[in-house]
Structure 1
Amino acid sequence: MGKADRKNPELCPPTHSDEIKVSFPREHVMLLTFNRPKALNAMTASMVSDIKNVLDWFEKEPYLWVVVLTGEGRIFCAGADLVDWKRREEAGATKDDQSVVADNPHGFGSISRRCSTKPIIAAVNGGAYGGGTEIILNCDLVIASDDATFALPEVKVGVVAIQGGIPRLARIAGHQLASEMLLTGRNVSAKDAATRFGFVNKLVARSQVLSTALAWAAEITANSPDAVQSTKRALLLSNQHGSVEDMVLTHVWSKESTRAFKSSNIKEGLAAFSERRKPRWVNPTKL
């Protein structure tokens, strides 16, 4: 990697409202912060639009390899802003709710069903509810404060956690534990989320949530971005294929796998290993 490659380039994310914040705290890492602390970072339609535009840009930016998601204030995300939802319905600004789900391939907050080949880390301060938990279930790594609580309480207000949360929780926790959360709508402690339900990787003090998530992001960016993104594609395919053989054959011919086999990073990794030095990775080529 040349000297110019090591410097943080001029990164210009799409224009967005102050409902989100975007920063670049580490090399190759983007931090996306939900920024409606007074509303517990509940999602509005405009906030979802901002997140979609920024994440679509992130996906295409070769310099950025990992995104960390967090929430400003005392909670990660309280789900949908039901007040905003009701206001838009009264104004006739919403369409059929089933169509909203079907026409949005990225899911709740433009995250809960997003199939990104770049790692997504959730830094969860205080907890998450409803769609906020659905977002977390689609993240690759979850760092949470030890006082956090989680819930999928949709049934309590007559709706359904249909933005990807149900199948993901069932795969992670199993049918019975998923049913415990989904059918009762009860709150789950951080400890139970980590040990019983299995969707939290690490619990830390609230003051250490973001720094820990960024440290894990740095650990990922120390690896070949081509290999990481090819591995992430394999993880996504593992959720789509019941057969190991089908998954392997689909993955080996994927664009990410082809790039990993043919990129300069695989040569650099092997050379660095034989020369007993740290590898000098370059940004992946655009697919």
Structure 2
Amino acid sequence: MEFITVSRADRVTTVTLNRPAAMNAINGAMHNELQIAFDAFAADDEQLVCVVTGAGDKAFCAGSDLKAAALEDERHVYPRNGYAGLIERFDCAKPVIAAINGLALGGGFEVALACDLVIAVETASFGLPEPLVGAIALGGGLHRLAREIGPKRAMGMILTGRRVSAEEGYRLGFVNEVVAPGALDAAIARWVAEILRGAPLALRASKEAVYRGLDEPGLEAALTRQSAYPAYVAWRSSADLAEGALAFAEKRGPNWAGK
């Protein structure tokens, strides 16, 4: 990998956007590298959680590399799962956490919104400034932001292109926690540890039920159809389901097998 780094430790994959001199802006080659990295995470049964972050202390990701797009006509060359290999990855039920260490603008904000949790340093800021350069946030930002914070508040950000702080993002509801700049790694480790207390297949079934349920026409349909969702089916016949009940009865910690 030339523009990202990938590390694996304790069943956690960390994907780092690694172009700090360019505010971790994404070019065409980086899109393809991210597709490969997320494909590998999704396919590896030993990897349970993914953390996405940016190199340096200034930016998570400033979005698309507009200079590269102008010079190399890369604007519409996205991999199979869309922008950054993530924003159209609807079949990965494993938890994905965005560790926001600085600016998250345009496509960078869209990548964060595509993650399940957003943990940000207090100096971070977020925005969709695409209209200010004659573009549109077509990487899911328009749709995800409106769904997460409501259309009126989303339109306030989208139509003005203004940036919001991490604290405002927390109040709006798209940031889960705001921490001091030096505390991001510890906060991510804490969230990961808390997530890994749960059974892997139960976590995946829960994530899938939430997202697919939101796409159902109503609550009744979501409750009726959830038992047919693939992650639910896998969980229902899993060894971990039996282990959870047995561990509770025996008053001990569960030993999750992830199957």
**Which TM-score bucket, shorter chain as reference?**
over 0.9
1:154 aligned partner: 130
Given the superposition, is the C-alpha separation of residues 105 and 169 from structure 1 closer, same or farther in structure 2, using an over 3 Å criterion?
Answer: farther
Query: Deviation at 1:42?
Result: 0.3
Rounded to whole Å, the distance in 2 between the matches of 1:248 and 1:48 is: 37
Deviations 1:126-154 (A, max 9, x none): 12000000111111111100111111000
- Structure 1 partner of 2:95: 119
Task: Choose from 51, 54, 57 the match for 2:37.
Answer: 54
Residue in 2 aligned with 1:3?
none
Which string of whole-angstrom CA distances, capped at 9 and with x for unpartnered residues, describes residues 167-201 of structure 1?
A: 11111111111011100001111111111x21000
Partner of residue 20, structure 1: 4
- Equivalent AA in structure 1 for residue 19 of structure 2: R
What's the secondary structure of 1:134's corresponding residue?
A: helix
Q: Does 1:172 align with 2:148?
A: yes
Task: Select which of 15, 18, 32 maps to 2:15.
Answer: 32
The structure 2 residue matched to 1:142, chosen from 102, 108, 118, is 118
Q: Secondary structure at the match of 2:155?
A: helix
SS of equivalent to 1:239: helix
Q: Which has the higher contact order (CA 8 A, sep 6+)?
A: 1
CA offsets, 1:190-238, max 9 Å, x none? 111111x210000001111122112211211111001000011112202
Any stretches of 5+ residues in structure 1 without a counterpart? 1-16
Give the TM-score taking structure 2 as reference length. Answer: 0.95
Question: Which of 23, 28, 33 does residue 45 from structure 1 map onto?
Answer: 28
Q: Secondary structure at the match of 1:76?
A: strand
Aligned match of 2:196: 221
Say if 1:112 and 1:134, in contact at 8 Å, map to a contact too: yes
SS of the residue 2:52 aligns to: strand
- Distance, in Å, in 2 between the alignment partners of 1:56 and 1:248 is 30
Q: Is the 8 A contact 1:147 1:190 kept in 2?
A: yes
Mapped pair 1:273 → 2:248: yes
Please state whether the residue corresponding to 1:276 is helix, strand or coil.
coil
Of residues 177, 202, 225, the one that matches 2:177 is: 202
Q: Which amino acid aligns with 1:132?
A: G
1:128 aligns with 2:104: yes
Equivalent residue number for residue 260 of structure 1 = 235
State the partner residue of 1:81. Answer: 65
Q: Tell me by how many angstroms 1:255 deviates.
A: 2.0
Displacement, 1:256?
1.1
Q: What are structure 2's unaligned runs of at least 5 residues?
A: none
Q: Is contact 1:29–1:64 with CA below 8 Å preserved after alignment?
A: yes
1:180 alignment partner AA? G
Q: For 2:205, which of 216, 221, 230 is the aligned residue?
A: 230
CA separation in 2, counterparts of 1:242 and 1:78? 35
Structure 2 residue identity aligned to 1:65: L
Q: Secondary structure at the residue paired with 1:234? A: helix
**For the residues of structure 1 that align with 2:190 and 2:82, how far apart are their CA atoms?**
28
Worse-matched range after superposition: 152-161 or 113-122:
113-122
1:105 to partner: Cα distance: 5.7
- Rounded Cα–Cα distance in structure 2 between residues aligned with 1:28 and 1:249: 33
> Between the two proteins, what is the percent identity of the paired residues?
37
